[in-house]
Structure formats: structure tokens, C-alpha cells
Structure 1
């Protein structure tokens, strides 16, 4: 099979839209500190020292300008019993759009990227708790339909960090600096009931950019706004809901490059090295994953920067700080085929399995 190296997005500003100091403060607040209260925009406005109407107007404009992708609850896939994993596939490098379209059609695929490696298609896929196919069967179908030469399953063995918010104000030095990291709790399936399902269905997806964004969802569930907010906060405590936040279009927000740094370290140093890597502000995700004969890397990190050079600086700093790296590779994305939030408790999963596997 002919080898083609995809073009890496490395322009300094890319498709970035100019943002002023207030925009950067607002986006930091919306990504990391969006409160779960009846009137969250009023609290954001208070934190920024402006009126609520100013925040509502500017957030709506940032959505319209495709800088904010959506404001949405971020539920924990594993806590609801969904199986999920990262998958690396070797597909035809000359014609990647055909297999991408097939993979994207699965409702459990939330992210899919073309990357500069022999394993060139990287996607995350999830299946429902009661899926007849499960992950194994689903990947068999996808491998067959895409004609993938090889598929590598890369489930999470250890989660060190998952926190996708971009520091809009920090410079390269700040992103490449190690800080104290708090490891997230390992989440297994948690108990949930019909009310939890109803709340998820009513709130998932885009929350409206209005003073009381939970009002419509509360009416759909049949409870008051205060009761819905209380329930959402309880879901955070029960680890079903990670947070509510603004998700950005990275490149439009100025972060035109993302580099997946993969690392081979001594087996006895995996936990120590993973914790050190997770401490960097410029690292959004850090996991331990299984190795293969053709894939020796145990640790995976995602770096986001305003240029390829900034990503390299973050990963170089990680390598210097950790100090026990035996092998490193950096995979840059050249095409974003799909990036969405997973929608839970819909008929889409069952319909896909019925259509593609007759189950």
C-alpha cells in the first residue's frame, strides 16, 4: 500500500479569530468554572465584573462565530455503563474519507482524526450497556466495512487526567510548566435510575444561551428548575456528570495544533511518569494503554497549542521533566473527521446494530 504523509496543520494562527482580553477571560470561565445553578450566566458575569446581558450577548456571538462549539453537560461514559475505547486503524492513506464516513456513521463515535502515522485513523467509540455486539463485535463490523488493514484496540488501563479546557491567556511557558495535578477518580459503572435517564435526555446536547438555560429541560422532565439543578449537582457527586462547560472549536479559538505524544517508559515507572505528565497545564488527557509488537507506547498524552511548535515545546518539557523516556513519538492530526459529544439513551445505537449486524 502506498504511503502518504498527510499535511500537518502547523500555521501559527491557522483559522483563528482574533480575541480580546475579555473574550479570553470569558472563555476560560466558560470552560472551567461554568456553575450548575438556575442562572449560571449571572454568576459568570459577577466573576468577570460585568452585567449578565453582556455575557449572554458575547457567548451567543462566540457560538455564531464558531468559536464556542456548544455549552453542554459532560457526562461520564463509563459511569453509565457504556464501554468505550480509543482505536487506531490502518486505512487506505490515498482515500481516507470513505472509511471515515463509515466510522463516523456509528453513533458511539465521538472523535475521529487522520494522523501522521502508519496507523492513520484514530477514533473513540462507545457501545451501550446492553449492546448485543459490544465493542469487540462493533469493531469487527467497522474493520470489515472500512477494509482496514489493521485495527489496534487501545482501552484505558489507567486514567491520569481528562480535562479539556484551553488556557486562552497562558503563553507557551505557562503551558509547558508542570503544576500540581489532582488525579480524577477511577469511575466504574454507578447506580442510576429512570429520573437520571430523563435528566440526561433533556439536558444533553446544546444548552440554550439564555438566562435560565435549564428551564426547558426542567419542563420536559416535569420538575422545577431548582429541582433539576439540585439533581444535576447530585449527579456530579455520584460521578455521573463531570461538569457543564463550553466546548470550543480549537482552531477557531487559536489552538491550531494538537499533538498526541506517545511514550515508552520502564514498566516500573509507568504510574510515576503518568502522574508527572498529567501535571502539565498544556496536557489535556493522559492515559496508560496496552502495547503491541508494533505499538510499544504505554502512555498517551494530548497537547494543544497555538502552533505545532508550541505543542512540541510542551512535549519537550514533559520529556525533560519525566526523564525516563525510552521512546517517544508525536502524532499530529491533519483532518478532523468528527468531533461531537456522545448522546446517551437514544435509539441510534440499536438502529445501527440492526442495520449493520442484524441484531
Structure 2
């Protein structure tokens, strides 16, 4: 659970019905067109100017964290894994600093458990991830760790309902089949460009492309191909969940026998407060195999949501891992 520091939550009161509608829609993905905010405005019965002004204001006050692209690492030739280190408390800050400095680490948190440092790594598929983790553990003088690659994804990519009603406003649809073709150099150039912040202007793809010596039409065409192949998930608005009013979240892990993982994973994925649900390997010293992220407006409602989920899925051991400190939250740059 991530504890609220008291500086967030009230910003939700600054949103009107149009802001909420815009945030909910824009999290699903912006039209990959020359004038995406004009297309979005027509859908929401707003002018392009109003859409842009609202997004600029929401970004200025910190509700909108970024407007950018989200990619499927596995379809770009990368693999990701969750890693947990057991670090002596007196060395935790120093070890966390080393981990956070690595460009292939996206998230890094202290959690309330024996394995107290949890981070996510993303590396090209040809690199032996587990060997890298072992090397890193030895460098940090860590003797106990967990290597937790994703074995199956049950849920990812749920947008946060700006009205705080917890509707699942974005369920990941069936993915297209894995692309058979290799990425071309033009694809890689496109990916590099799209990882930058999308300008809040009338023709943002034109502006982004021009900064790299390309034209907007080329960038849009390449982006649409990547989108159709599932390599590009979406270009969208991403929000700061605390400033939106989701002040409590927790990593909840479940001990589930292999033959029951699919049933439990699907049941937990259907819980509206769950944003992510994965199957990961279990170990003798850590017999949890299903990993979920829960979000809610406060700790009391979060605890209730987890307990209700536990009653739905059945009599499985579970544990809520409290987030004590956030050391890093950033996206890994592909083909950097």
C-alpha cells in the first residue's frame, strides 16, 4: 500500500464533467491522425482549442503526468521481469540508489517485507536477464533475491476512472497475433521518436517528426503499422493516480497451485480495483505465483477491496506488500 502524504487528492475537486470525460477518453488512446485533438474534440463535442487548453491545464496542475506512447516490450524484442532483493536496512538507500541509476530499471520501490526492494527490469531478449540479476546482486552484496519474469499476463492497461467510480473504462482487448516480420530501421526510428513527449499542439506528430528531420505523414504511417501489430499499444494521456484521488495502492501476491493459476488469475483480473494481474514463478522461500496491483481512494476501501477479492477467488494464502518508499518511476527507453 502506498501511504498518502496529504498533498494529493484535493485536485480531483478541480475537475468538471468535461475534464472527466476528456481524461477517461484520452487515456484509452489518442487518434493517430494529423490533428488528433480535433478528432477527439468532435467525439467529445468540444473544440480542438478547448481540448488542448484543458489538457494543458491538467498537465500544469499535475493530474496529467504525460502524453506519450506506450509499447509492448515483448513485441519490440525486449523482455521484462520483476526482481526483489532482500537488503539490510542500513544499506537499503545505497543499494536502491545503484538500482535506480540503471537505465533498464523502470520502477523501484521499498516494500514492507523480507524482500524489501522491488524493481522492474527491461532488457533486449538476447541478454540473459537472470544472469544480469545475479551479477547485480553480487555487486550490491545482496545474498537473497527473487527473479520473477512474467509467465502470463491476465490484465494490463486499465485506465483510471477520473470520476473515481471504479468503472473499468479500458479493458485490454484481444491482442493481434505476434508479428512475423522483424523490425525495420524505419520502425526503430519511429519508436525512438514516439517515446518523446507529444506536444500539446494542433498537429503534434508533425512537430515531433520535424524535430527529427522527418515529416508527420511518415511518422503517422509508421505508427499505424506498429499499432496494428500490437507493438505500439497506444499514444495516450497518462495520469498521476494520487493527484486524481487514488491515494492508496498495493501489490497483493497470492499463493496458487499451478493447475489453478488460470482460474484465479482470470477471477482477479475481473476485479475492478485491479489494474495489473500476472502469473510469475514461485520459489520454496516465496510461494506466491499471482501478482496483482490494487488501487483505491483510501486505505480502508483498499483493504476492503482486497478482502472481497480474496473471498471471491477462494481459500488461498495472500499477502499485501506495503509501499514504503518510491525510489524510481520512469519508462525504459527502447533502442536508446
Q: Does 1:328 align with 2:318?
A: yes
2:136 counterpart residue number: 142
| Partner deviation per Cα, 1:217-236 (whole Å, 9 max, x = no partner) | 33356554233222212111
Which stretches of structure 1, 4 residues or longer, exceed 3 Å deviation after superposition?
10-16, 179-190, 220-224
Q: Does 1:169 align with 2:163?
A: yes
1:216 counterpart residue number: 207
Superposition pairs for residues 57-136 of structure 1, below 5 Å? 57-131=53-127, 134-136=128-130
CA contact (8 A) 2:198 2:208 kept: no
Q: Does 1:31 align with 2:27?
A: yes
Return closer, same or farther for 1:146/1:185 CA change in 2, 3 Å cut-off: farther
Mapped to 1, the partners of 2:252 and 2:261 lie a distance apart of 15
Mapped to 2, the partners of 1:63 and 1:204 lie a distance apart of 18
- Structure 1, unpaired ranges of 5+: 1-6, 347-359
| Partner deviation per Cα, 1:127-179 (whole Å, 9 max, x = no partner) | 22454xx312321232123332411001111111111421121436x57xxx9
CA contact (8 A) 2:265 2:290 kept: yes
1:205 counterpart residue number: 196
Q: Does 1:341 align with 2:336?
A: no
Q: TM-score, normalised by structure 1?
A: 0.85
Return closer, same or farther for 1:87/1:30 CA change in 2, 3 Å cut-off: same
CA contact (8 A) 1:161 1:184 kept: no
1:4 counterpart residue number: none
Count of residues in Structure 1 that have an aligned counterpart in Structure 2: 334
Structure 1 counterpart of 2:291, from 288, 297, 300 = 300
Mapped to 2, the partners of 1:281 and 1:60 lie a distance apart of 29
Say which SS state the counterpart of residue 324 (structure 2) adopts: strand
1:350 counterpart residue number: none
Say which SS state the counterpart of residue 309 (structure 1) adopts: helix
Q: Does 1:287 align with 2:281?
A: no
Q: Does 1:192 align with 2:183?
A: yes
Mapped to 1, the partners of 2:289 and 2:276 lie a distance apart of 14
- Structure 2, unpaired ranges of 5+: none
Structure 1 counterpart of 2:310, from 308, 316, 319 = 319
| Partner deviation per Cα, 1:247-283 (whole Å, 9 max, x = no partner) | 2222122112211111122332211111121122221
CA RMSD of aligned residues (A): 2.6
| Partner deviation per Cα, 1:299-330 (whole Å, 9 max, x = no partner) | 1111111112232233223222222x320111
Could you tell which deviates more after superposition, 90-99 or 253-262?
A: 90-99
Say which SS state the counterpart of residue 251 (structure 1) adopts: helix
2:42 counterpart residue number: 46
Say which SS state the counterpart of residue 195 (structure 1) adopts: helix
Could you tell which deviates more after superposition, 73-82 or 145-154?
A: 145-154
